[in-house]
Amino acid sequence: MTVTIAREGSVVVVTVENPPVNALSQALRQALVEAVAELDADSRVKAVVLICAGRTFIAGADVSEFGKPPQPPHLPDVVAAIEAAKKPWVAAIHGSALGGGLEVALGCAYRVALVSASLGLPEVKLGIIPGAGGTVRLPRLIGAAAAVDLATGGSPVGAKKAEGLGLVDAVIDGDLRAGSIAFAESIAEKPLPLPISHRAVPAVEAGFWESAEKAVAAKAKREIAPLRALASLRKACETDFADAMAFERETFLALRGSEQAAALRHVFFAERAAPRPPELAGVTPRDIRSAAVIGGGTMGAGIAAALRDAGLPVVLIERDAAAVERGLANVRAIYDGSVKRGRMAQAVADQRMAGVTGGDDYGLLADTDLVIEAVFEDLVVKRAVFEKLSAVCRSDAVLATNTSYLDPGAISNGIAHPERFLGLHFFSPAHVMKLLEIVPTETTAPEVLAAGFALARQLAKIPVRAGICDGFIGNRILKVTRAQAERLLLSGAPPLAVDAAMRAFGLPMGPFEAQDLGGLDIAAFQRKAARERGETPFAPVAERLCALQRFGQKTGGGWYDYQPGDRSPQPSETVAAVIAEAATGRPQRAWDDASIADAILLPMVNEATRILEERVALRAADIDLVKIHGYGFPRWRGGPMHYAEARGLAEVVAVLDRLAAEGLAEAPSEGLRRAAAAGGFSAGTVGKRCGL
């Protein structure tokens, strides 16, 4: 970390360099306080520009310090020192001024920003609220309503919008350093503006806070921080500066040590580690500038849209002209939907669509860099596709399958140049869902695997490397979720109670509602394939429902009954009778929300530990990302592995032992017992064996 001071006539430029994102480490906070004192004492200095080296302005407090006790100088004092400086400080913002970074900028007398910069208070996304005056100064500068949007939503605003809000004083297009120096010269002789902390609190309309509370609560669901941020903003508007600062700081410190903040921090770092697996360090990915998708069904069309959204030209291949038309119509429907919902301008949609070409001739792919197959889940059909691709594509083109259950090794068996082949498992809808499981085969070359990760980055997806097994990481755990849900049915918990318990835990939907939405036939098809492989999948009730053609909402009934035109699930007498029959002779017991959640979640953790032991996943945090980004696991719980660790693995093992004794779950794996003894996955033997 360095803070350098350079003189440009009467203006001084203070440059912060603390890669990667100029986070406010203790050393940087100290250096800023010292710079204020030094420049205050220098009579030649008329104004100060605070600028940052590298990719961004100060992106916030150093999140990695959050697990430790705060060290002085504390950020509120640093901001107060800058605000009290005798010379006007001008924050010169490029990249992002986030969290503590924006708070530092609010301490400055002026703020200027590059047109490409963004500013925001994302603290709530980390389970905390601003802790250095963000909620107290912001309403004084831009009014309560805009401050509520920024501090409770956590999304940044661009420089132009910030200028409109009064958050920045000038937008600079071009050289930020030169522009900021010129700005500083223009204000150097003016009297210092009133510090934001001295400005009047904004007035709000009657009922403003009550309606803001309703709106924030509805959006935040079970996350604590947004409502706490709102409380802090309200305090800022209703008391004096010092009281409001004390309230904000107290709230910040309390949340900083909360379970939700620990979980959200875990996810923050997991998401940033995921795109750069250490095992691929130094490997140059194969270049991907053009792409094709084989198959224009829901999945293929979604993948095509995702590729287009990332700027790649896409060819969509189907078996005949009519299927090509249907495939293109599926892609168009995605863009039409975005336009209808106001998320995309018609001109952008047209431009995206213009970059998708359809055809039934594989010859169109002779020079394509990446081809993703998304045809029917049938080994013979998929192999036929790759045989053709093998014949027409360049030998260095990356060939990928989007299979969810088949063995990519078997799919690629016999193709020319098998080192260019890998699995890229998207989640439906593929243009929306953030997860991408990347599945190398035994022959995949490192630069092809690296191309998969680079593609994920380009597509703004979260990549997770998965080994080959039935269902890879996510669907393999999903099988356990479903089996456990059925075990619960057979031991006295009705579908409604199971779904309600999982919602209470924080999932957007329970396992039975989710199956009714997606269709029971898909899992039935997979079970059939599993039986053909000699396995014995456990789905006694689902099998009976499928035999009754109850495939979910689309057939008017599945785990629940549905009235025509109404998607709300109604308990079904037919299903109750099927469950009663399947449960004959089994012991029944009483279930509450917590014990239902345990009976589903802890066996998932048990399976996930096996997945780690088998190196199907390389890191416990990767499994968390899979469940959060592919299956709606609540982010504020940190994913199943973080949840289990936070709860204590010894307790997890004890609960699983009890469930196993009742025949309601498998016993904890040896790996889980070892991890419990070692105190966690990352510190423990399971993690170590998996390369952590």
Tell me: does residue 53 bind ligand 3H9 (CB under 6 A): no
Choose one: 15-23, 238-246, 374-382, 495-503; the region binding ligand 3H9 (CB under 6 A): 15-23
Kindly write out the interface string for residues 273-312 of this chain, putting x where it contacts ligand 3H9 by CB under 6 A and - elsewhere. Answer: x---------------------------------------
Tell me: does residue 126 bind ligand 3H9 (CB under 6 A): yes
Choose one: 83-91, 128-136, 191-199, 458-466; the region binding ligand 3H9 (CB under 6 A): 128-136
3-class DSSP state for residue 508? Answer: coil
Whichever of 127 and 471 has its CB closer to ligand 3H9, that residue is: 127
Number of residues that bind ligand 3H9 (CB under 6 A): 27
Whichever of 250 and 350 has its CB closer to ligand 3H9, that residue is: 250
Please select the residue that binds ligand 3H9; options are 7, 53, 55, 589, rule is CB under 6 A.
Answer: 55
Give, as one character, the DSSP assignment of residue 558. S
3-state helix, strand, coil in the chain (%, to 5): 50, 10, 35
Which strands, in side-by-side order, build the sheet including 11-17? Answer: 2-8, 11-17, 47-52, 89-93, 110-114, 170-172
Token duo for residue 518: 């997606």
3-class DSSP state for residue 307? Answer: helix
Catalytic residues: 103, 123
The dihedral region occupied by 174, where left means phi > 0, alpha psi between -120 and 50, and beta the remainder, is left
Which residues within the stretch 70-99 sit at the binding site for ligand 3H9 (CB under 6 A)? 75, 96, 98-99
Closest approach, Cβ 62 to ligand 3H9, in A, equals 5
Token duo for residue 651: 């307790």
Choose one: 109-117, 126-134, 205-213, 350-358; the region binding ligand 3H9 (CB under 6 A): 126-134
Please select the residue that binds ligand 3H9; options are 14, 18, 32, 62, rule is CB under 6 A.
Answer: 62
Please select the residue that binds ligand 3H9; options are 13, 14, 16, 23, rule is CB under 6 A.
Answer: 23
DSSP string, 27-92: HHHHHHHHHHHHHHT-TT--EEEEEE-TT-S---B-GGGTTS---SSPHHHHHHHHHT-SSPEEEE
Is the separation of the CB atoms in 275 and 453 below 8 Å?
yes
Whichever of 349 and 462 has its CB closer to ligand 3H9, that residue is: 462
Closest approach, Cβ 447 to ligand 3H9, in A, equals 21
Whichever of 60 and 638 has its CB closer to ligand 3H9, that residue is: 60
Q: Which residues 6+ apart lie within 8 Å of 48 measured at CB?
A: 11, 12, 13, 14, 39, 85, 87, 88, 89, 90, 184
Give, as one character, the DSSP assignment of residue 293. E
Tell me: does residue 64 bind ligand 3H9 (CB under 6 A): yes
- Taking the C-alpha atoms of residue 267 and residue 276, their distance in angstroms, rounded to an integer, is 15
Tell me: does residue 226 bind ligand 3H9 (CB under 6 A): no
Tell me: does residue 630 bind ligand 3H9 (CB under 6 A): no
Please select the residue that binds ligand 3H9; options are 35, 132, 399, 608, rule is CB under 6 A.
Answer: 132
Tell me: does residue 59 bind ligand 3H9 (CB under 6 A): yes
Which residues within the stretch 650-679 sit at the binding site for ligand 3H9 (CB under 6 A)? none
- Taking the C-alpha atoms of residue 226 and residue 215, their distance in angstroms, rounded to an integer, is 11
Element (H, E) at 352: helix 346-354
| Phi, psi dihedral angles at 403 (to 5 degrees) | -55, 145
Closest approach, Cβ 142 to ligand 3H9, in A, equals 17
**Any idea of the CA torsion for 21, 22, 27, 33, to the nearest 10 degrees?**
-160
Closest approach, Cβ 156 to ligand 3H9, in A, equals 8
Tell me: does residue 223 bind ligand 3H9 (CB under 6 A): no
How many residues are there in the chain?
692
Burial pattern 295-307, b for ≥16 Cβ within 10 A else e, equals: bbeebbbbbbbbb
Nearest to 490 by CA among 625, 614, 589: 589
Whichever of 241 and 421 has its CB closer to ligand 3H9, that residue is: 241
Choose one: 269-277, 310-318, 461-469, 579-587; the region binding ligand 3H9 (CB under 6 A): 269-277
Tell me: does residue 100 bind ligand 3H9 (CB under 6 A): yes
Is the separation of the CB atoms in 157 and 135 below 8 Å?
no
Please select the residue that binds ligand 3H9; options are 131, 195, 634, 671, rule is CB under 6 A.
Answer: 131
Choose one: 60-68, 209-217, 224-232, 392-400; the region binding ligand 3H9 (CB under 6 A): 60-68
3-class DSSP state for residue 603? Answer: helix
**Any idea of the CA torsion for 197, 199, 201, 203, to the nearest 10 degrees?**
-160
Please select the residue that binds ligand 3H9; options are 35, 51, 103, 633, rule is CB under 6 A.
Answer: 103
- Taking the C-alpha atoms of residue 611 and residue 472, their distance in angstroms, rounded to an integer, is 9
- Residue given tokens 């031991």 in the structure block: 491
Helix H segments across 196-296? 208-220, 225-238, 241-256, 259-273
Whichever of 55 and 214 has its CB closer to ligand 3H9, that residue is: 55
Please select the residue that binds ligand 3H9; options are 56, 251, 475, 491, rule is CB under 6 A.
Answer: 56
Closest approach, Cβ 151 to ligand 3H9, in A, equals 10
Whichever of 51 and 477 has its CB closer to ligand 3H9, that residue is: 51
Whichever of 132 and 676 has its CB closer to ligand 3H9, that residue is: 132
Choose one: 46-54, 55-63, 281-289, 545-553; the region binding ligand 3H9 (CB under 6 A): 55-63
Tell me: does residue 272 bind ligand 3H9 (CB under 6 A): yes
Whichever of 123 and 223 has its CB closer to ligand 3H9, that residue is: 123
Tell me: does residue 63 bind ligand 3H9 (CB under 6 A): yes
Is the separation of the CB atoms in 132 and 124 below 8 Å?
no
Tell me: does residue 136 bind ligand 3H9 (CB under 6 A): no
Binding site for ligand 3H9 (CB under 6 A): 20-21, 23, 55-56, 59-64, 75, 96, 98-100, 103, 122-123, 126, 130-132, 134, 269, 272-273
